[in-house]
Structure 1
Amino acid sequence: MRVVIIGAGPSGLVTCKSLLEAANGDYPFDPIVLEQEDNIGGTFRYRSYEHANLVSSKQLTSFSDFRLPLSHADHLTLEEYVLYLENYANAFDLAERIRLNCKVTNIQRLESGKHQVTFEVRKDSLTSGPQIIVADYIALCAGLHVTPSIPTIPGVENVLTSRNNATIEVMPKIFHSHTYKSRSQLTGRRVLILGTGETGMDLAYESVKAGAREVVLCSRSGFLSFPKALNDFEIFGIDFKSRTPVPIDSLITNLGETAYVHPWIARSHIRWFISDFVIKRVLWLLTGTQAGCNQWVGELHPSRLGRAYVFLNKSHKAMPYLNRPYRKRAWYLEYLSRYIDPQEDSPPHTNFTVELAPFPSHFTSDGQVIFTPSKRKDYLRTSKMDIRPDTVIYATGYTQQFEYLDKASNYPSPQSADLRNIAKSGDETVAFIGYVRPGVGAIPPLSEMQTFFWISLIKKQIKTPLSVPYYHLLTSENSRIKYGVDHSAYMATLAKDMNAAPGLWDLWQIYGMKVLLCYCFGAAFTPFYRLVGPFQSKVAPQIIKTELWETITRRGVVGNIVMGLIPMLFYLTLNLLAFGLGVGWQVIGGDL
């Protein structure tokens, strides 16, 4: 069974490896990966820049059976992650399956039901004529971050530099963030950054460190800022400093919130709203603001503030520079509790400020940026400034295009893939792997679980109809991004579909109390879903007993009680109450 995989980033690699391991006499999968670049790694290699780090932890991001040593830092640089992918490909002998410099130009459906894949081979700047592979299955793994999304802003071509009202000879720069590589592109510039996602926040910090003359960061509607790891707090003058900060994406517990969730509780999303309510109050107590962790500007509208609505921004390094004009807190509250910026993120002893502003409505003919009017406090400040950037960076994300899919063949899209956003009912030979984005989490482990689901689907091991999905982030009709999911809920749903979600009794009987406690207190780590089911792994128990156990115990006794046991008992009580009401409802003839 020939499977053509488009893209040799993490999604393509894990798809290839999983297909090879799942192949048998009845399903002799024969995967081949077509990659248009000259090496593997995808976005992490070709859209990276110096000083860039993953904001998702190694515990969550690493594939289930290929881990990094305990001694390795929790968050990898992009260079380290590309090396990890290279080692992964070597460890599982994937190189012979990967064809580099192969750009897919067309995929069309044949009358036989198979797929004709047309591609060109580029070598030494020369391109071959079209080549063809006929495939039984297609896995689209090219990723979310390929085609830049660039909004139209009237007058942006008028960008120039002015100093003391005199125009100076500085070449204007206007580019998308995917072409940013080093701080030398920002040194001495007046930088306007469009977008407050993690890349935009990174670029604001990089601009400061590069010695930019001015930095303005533009936000459409705000953001929710958290550090990628829990940092230091000072309470009553006592510094609670951790030698090994806990990654923020490892804090959500399984039991009661992801595992053993009653359908009514899942449908209402009440567990998301309750956790938001509690987190906001804790943040206010510890940092003085509930807009985000020590976030004093750029707050979201209250109706959109929470994990149910947005992608958490874990690039926190620019926040001290953004906070400067807005951070105000009484001295006695500062004594009660205070958030301490990480040393590398603390502003130097200067008055440099990264200005936050709304998105530009237009640029004037002489290059002044005019911001969209707003009641936001950042607009009240920046609207009074004469801002004339010489560098405009679009950190505005990417758009998904599948121009190589033949329109006459009626191929599905990720939006029409009703089977867990992976495949379309009746058209299971085509899969979209890596085309959902978690609010808090990482795409590679989702891709691994999606691949397992697709293989199970092909092997007819998935029972249909599937349960109603309750893992999508809540969006409005005019939301730009509609493919957001809650990492934990999505992982758990796929695991249940594949009979890979372990039962508590089975865990205790087969693997013992340590693995059971890890499963209950841990986040939705992929090794948990390889303890039972069709993709059971021999190495999963040891990974859980060592690496994941260390991550959970790192929280300390108090941390596990406050962030683990208390919410777990609360959610279990809530689910037990819903279960009791559900039984009574069914007795009188109601439908769950």
Structure 2
Amino acid sequence: MTAADAPRSDGGDGGHHGMNHSSSSSSDSKDVKVSIIPESSSAEAKSAFSQPRRMPLRVAVIGAGPSGIVALKELKEMGFSTVLFDAAERIGGAFATAYEGAQLTTSSSLTAFGDFPPNPPNMVAKPTMWTCEEYVEYLNDYIDHFRLRGCIELKSRVVSYKKSENEALWELVVCKENTNTSTSYFDRVVIATGSNQNPNIPQDLLDKARQGDFTGDIVHSSSISSMRSLARGRRVLIVGLGETGSDLALQAAEGLATGEVPFVGISSRKGPGHTIPRLLGDVPADLMTSRAFHQIPDPNTAKSMWRELYERGVPMIKAAGMDATWMEFNLENENFPCCRFGVKNSAWLDALDAGAATFGGIEKIDGDVVTFDDGAVARVDLIVAATGFKPFDDAGVRNVRAELWRGVLRAAADDDMSLAYVGFARAAFGGVPPVAELQARWLASLWAGEVDPPTREQMEEEMQRAQREAGLRYPLDASRITTLVEYRQALDVWGASLGALPPLGWTTALRRPQLWRALWFGPLCAAQYRCGDAAVAARLERQKLHPFITAPVRAWLYWRVIRKT
């Protein structure tokens, strides 16, 4: 397996906000150097698992977003000699280059790594929604706590990676600070650059703009640093209603009241996924998606139940003095959770309140006039494509679910499992970092010989099953978002492979009821898969559960037990 052009090593596994990427051309390189890594011998030119390998093996990790950082930590902790490369000047990946005012869409409880709780300690008792800058600060604290700084090489773009001539090692060409290029050899390579590398402006949008001589500008959301500044004096159309589009729509619409922005429109073909706000009052809404929540049958098999739950939920939310617009929208459109990707951001609804208009898909463009497929027209001079990113395309991998076993290993018959991927899993509701942490733990255990590799037959069978299940669960999104996974299922699969499933049975309920309660009704986070660590288990026991966290489960129990009897 060869990869002439490496994936862009500027982080990138952040995901739910805009980000800027920059890469420097290898033509800028000067002094070419070759360094032979002494820990690896060319005599070891066999499959990763065909013969014993002496430790420490050399591992290269590409990408300094959260997935790359946790992969570095787990591999280093397992005893591997590991180096992380990233083209950026600072760690954090997409989070380090987010647009002004960007905020995570998963709470600190879900986002934090399992063995490093948020600081200050009161954030454990009262989770919050980090800004991107706050999250990058957390990642820096994590790096310092586990003494990883010396293993990270920033401003170091991986130009290419490929198997060496004798197939024994991985040959990495790295351009340092856009000047010096060197070649190094490693036993293993981890790609942790995330799936948000290549901005996607739909070709049909570009074709319609060209054919209609569009007189304005078209920009991708990833190129925006300040939407408020960009929108000033412009007639803005946001195309796409994911979490980034939702934020940018509101930021632009804030200028409508003052007249700084004359018009804001939102165009979406299929509408948003299931929409929830970041916060319910002052409580992160994702805390409701506990393990017990994930036991509720999904809407594809129990739509009438979900309809009734939402009908009961609207007055409950209003009675608590909170805005229920998001729930009313989901109810009206039968847009229930767990059957579409989750838009964990209701800012677009606030944008409508501020005066933004909504439209269907773009039918045609003529000058500055846009005609939509619902018959409406609007004059615009700035189109913002919040349309996500092109399918992950590294070394021939275009469909993560179909080509990478659990998003980590290639299933090709000639692959020796010395190349792996971490962080290519987008939960419909949940975060990337917890899944990436478990992936990294398993991968480190695999390469250390502590767990057995899957057989090709097992990989193929599981991937085919994943394809079928994703198509049934996410019929509108599975083919478009090939990294989409069911959060609890993804965590439990890795937890089972590591022998690290949380103790959920009645023994725990009787002996440690507070822990049992936290595991079932608390935030579904990576810490649950570290209960063997007494300090982690004690921290879980101290969690305080807000009444709203158990509301969906209590409503379901009502429907299941009372309504059905």
TM-score range relative to shorter protein:
0.7 to 0.9
Matches within 5 A, 1:423-434: 423-425=409-411, 427-434=416-423
Q: How does 1:489-504 map to 2 (within 5 A)?
A: 489-504=489-504
| TM-score, reference length from structure 1 | 0.72
1-side partners of 2:330 and 2:114: how far apart?
38
* Other-structure match for 2:114: 64
**Paired residue for 1:358?**
360
CA distance in 2, matches of 1:111, 1:119: 14
Question: Which position in structure 1 is the counterpart of 2:35?
Answer: none
2:96 paired with 1:49: no
Aligned partner letter, 1:370? T
Letter in 2 for 1:4: A
Equivalent residues in 2 for 1:231-250, closer than 5 Å: 231=281, 245-250=282-287
Match of 2:218 in 1: 174
Looking at structure 2, the residues matched to 36 and 63 of structure 1 have their Cα atoms a distance apart, in angstroms, of 24
Q: Which whole-Å CA distance do the structure 1 matches of 2:426 and 2:418 have between them?
A: 23
In the alignment, what sits opposite 2:383? Answer: 392
Computed over aligned residues only, the root mean square deviation of the Cα atoms, in angstroms, reads: 3.3
- Letter in structure 1 aligned against 2:360: P
Cα separation, 1, equivalents of 2:368 and 2:82:
53
- Give runs of aligned pairs for residues 161-560 of structure 1, distance below 5 A: 172-182=216-226, 183-210=228-255, 211-223=260-272, 224-231=274-281, 245-255=282-292, 257=294, 276-283=306-313, 285=315, 292-295=326-329, 305-322=335-352, 347=354, 353-364=355-366, 366-371=367-372, 373=373, 379=374, 383-385=375-377, 387-403=378-394, 405=395, 414-425=400-411, 427-458=416-447, 459-462=449-452, 464=454, 465=458, 468=462, 472=470, 473-475=473-475, 479-505=479-505, 508=508, 512-532=512-532, 537-546=533-542, 549-550=543-544, 552=545, 554-555=546-547, 560=550
In the TM superposition, residue 86 of structure 1 has moved relative to its aligned partner by: 1.3
Distance 1:256 1:388, change over 3 A: closer
What is the aligned partner in structure 2 of residue 88 from structure 1?
142
Tell whether the 8 Å contact from 2:277 to 2:346 is kept in structure 1 after alignment.
yes
Find the aligned partners of 1:402 and 1:321 in 2 and give their Cα distance.
Answer: 34
Q: Secondary structure at the match of 2:407?
A: coil
Deviations 1:191-215 (A, max 9, x none): 0111101111111100022431100
Question: For the Cα contact (< 8 Å) 1:149–1:397, is it kept in 2?
Answer: yes
| Cross-structure match for 2:65 | 9
Percent identity of the aligned residues? 24
Give the secondary-structure state (helix, strand or coil) at the position aligned to 2:142: helix
**1:393 Cα offset (Å):** 0.8
Shift of 1:291: 9.5
Structure 2, unpaired ranges of 5+? 1-56
Q: Assess, with a 3 A threshold, how the Cα gap between structure 1 residues 354 and 484 changes in structure 2: closer, same or farther.
A: same
1:112 deviates by: 5.0
Distance in 2, Cα, partners of 1:510 & 1:432? 40
Q: Is the 8 A contact 2:89 2:155 kept in 1?
A: yes
Alpha-carbon distance in structure 1 between the residues aligned to 2:440 and 2:304 = 32
Change (3 A) 1:370 1:566: closer
Checking the alignment, whether the CA contact within 8 Å between 2:278 and 2:286 is kept in structure 1 is yes
AA of the residue aligned to 1:173: D
Q: TM-score, normalised by structure 2?
A: 0.75
Task: Give the whole-Å Cα distance in 2 for the aligned partners of 1:278 and 1:420.
Answer: 35
The offset of 1:430, in angstroms, is 1.8
Equivalent position SS for 1:217: strand
1:156-177: per-residue Cα shift (whole Å, max 9, x none)? 25334xxxxxxxxxxx432111
Task: Sort the Cα spacing of 1:565 and 1:392 in 2 relative to 1 into closer, same or farther, 3 A.
Answer: closer
Q: What residue in structure 2 maps to residue 128 of structure 1?
A: 180
Shift of 1:218: 0.7
